[in-house]
Structure 1
Amino acid sequence: MTKKIAILGASGYTGAELARIIATHPEMEIVALSGDRKAGMSMGEVFPHLRHLGLPDLVKIEEIDFSAVDLAFCALPHATSQAVIAELPRDLKVVDLSADFRLRDPAEYEKWYGKPHSAVELQKEAVYGLTEFYRDEIRGARLCAGTGCNAAAGQYAIRPLIEAGVIDLDEIVIDLKAGVSGAGRSLKENLLHAELAGGTMPYSAGGKHRHLGEFDQEFSLLAGRPVRIQFTPHLMPFNRGILVDAYVRGEPEAIHAALAARYAEETFLEVLPFGALPSTRSIAGSNFVHVGVIGDRIPGRAVVMVALDNLTKGSSGQAIQNANLMLGLPETAGLMLAPVFP
């Protein structure tokens, strides 16, 4: 039976990406779309590339009849999500794409996001949404917290290496390049074409980026001791995509073997032949992740490279993958679209 879907916050980039993917999903139907500031508009007016889909018009959240909805995707801003989700029916399955439920410790949430969490009981209930590592928990979840897109990319590079014990946990450096859509659709001066095109810049450097909370949480849990990494993201003048260069101490061949073994059965994770380099062009618009490993000229060091689409596998595609599990559908349903090239 077709599952009825609502998208809250459908007027943002992740909301549009959800609608684009679900449009060809064999077992999901979008029955409600919310967009507070754009309520009353059609989705085709907000996103002309979706004009042909015949989607419901945007409404305010309070106008949605959730008794007719099987699962809601919450693509709202940070802090807004926790307040909205707290008011939704308790039997409604929810996949949240914001940061509101990613961190298990309320003190850590307050540290990284600057305010106390207002729905601590829900925070305890949420399951972290990195699908390939929390699949069993997600199947039984009512509330799934999607990962940060940067956090997902970095974890795909490092988690299997912690599991296999093939790297020095005190020497992990992640250098990340992110497309501008990761900054959202709000009007921001530094994202104007004249100020962004033709250049690049680091942001939230020096241990200030909020996704470090996820790295700290997940890597330390996995290792059984505190793990702190160095992490610098860079804003790049392209629309979508993330490229990670993770610098680690360990034997390159053993690192490649650990990644290949861990992802051998994963549909969306492709480990390239040793020495091959991934590109954001090769995964654009898809739920696929390409992972590469090269040795360094310094013996005993390696670089792990990961390319994924921040709007798809980093956010909306991951959300649908998790929703498939929560609804008892095939995990890959609706997500096998090939990347767009060129």
Structure 2
Amino acid sequence: MTTVQVPDRPVDFISAETSWISACPGGLWEVRRRWLGERQRGDCTPMMGSLCKVKVRRKSITEQNTLQSNSLCQLNEPESTVSVDSSEQATSYPRSQDSVLQVPLDEWFMLHMGEGQCDIVEGCLDGMRAGEMCEFTISAWNARDSNAACSDSNSTQIENKTGQGLPQQPLCFTVQLHSLSPGQESWQMTPEEKWAWVQSYKLMGGQRFGKGDIWGAADCYCRAVKLAITLNAQTRGKTEESEEGMDGDNDTSLATSNDEKKEEENVGDSYIPTEEDYKTVKAELHSNLSLCQLKLGLLVKSRDSSIKATELNPKSTKAWYRLGQACLQLGELEESRMAFGKILELQPDSASARAALKQVNSKLKDINSKLGQRLSKMFN
């Protein structure tokens, strides 16, 4: 996310203008946000898990982008408060390929930060305080170089190949934050809380993929991978700390400590994953992300994700198959043959792997034949 400071303006009056790339079911959008009105005071801003009462409205072409006109929009709005009603629930709103913003317009609704219902709105809410309003403009993002990568609001590396199906004219909206509940940054979460979020993202990614929301599924898997990385470091640190505090000569103490640790790991519904659990789930996330990227035409990203999946779980036939497909479409035929051959080592009766390997060998044979003809002409 890039930030451009507005010169000669107090920070609490008009903050910096920010821009970033966000994903929606139809593709990628370039988002530009600027604050409207005077900034509020306080440290309470939306974080992961925060429940936010929000209103989004689209600005018509005739509306002027001035502080005065936007201030008038707030005269009849309910008085803002820091905390939402504890009985409130996140608003259920179906994601759609035909909608840019996956939220209702011109009405108050509840948004659960971190769930990725609307990546654009979540990005705009970042750093907002209760009672504040901002304006954002979005336009379809088209990369000059189809292999160029960009970062979304969650610092996830993604790229857009075509941007087809997205409106080409910029759209302008305002978003107002009425109230919010407390949330957490990832570094404030316990391993159990992080693991619950990772599992939730994985489940949500599968649901979105099943409904054809490939960009949304990829976003879920990216969020899960990013959080899983911090989970692994945090879990490993706790383990090392506990081992340093043990008395290695006291077997009874060691056994007691292990029993207590198991009880702590399984209190209620919380669970701290083992190293094997972590590697298995992370491999599945990379494998699923690879499939999404393959369907989106992001072949290099798909290859890289599937390589990570096979490194974490060398026995995953799905990961090897996706690696083979990505390499085949990239023209990396030797690598593709190796990947499909690995599947047959693990699962000799795989008909799909045999068919894919036959296709790769046919392409290699054709290339070698053409190369031989060229060499023959050179020396004759």
TM-score norm. by structure 2 comes to 0.25
**Higher share of residues assigned strand:** 1
**Higher share of residues assigned helix:** 2
**Higher RCO (CA-CA < 8 Å; seq separation 6+):** 1
- Bigger Rg, which one: 2
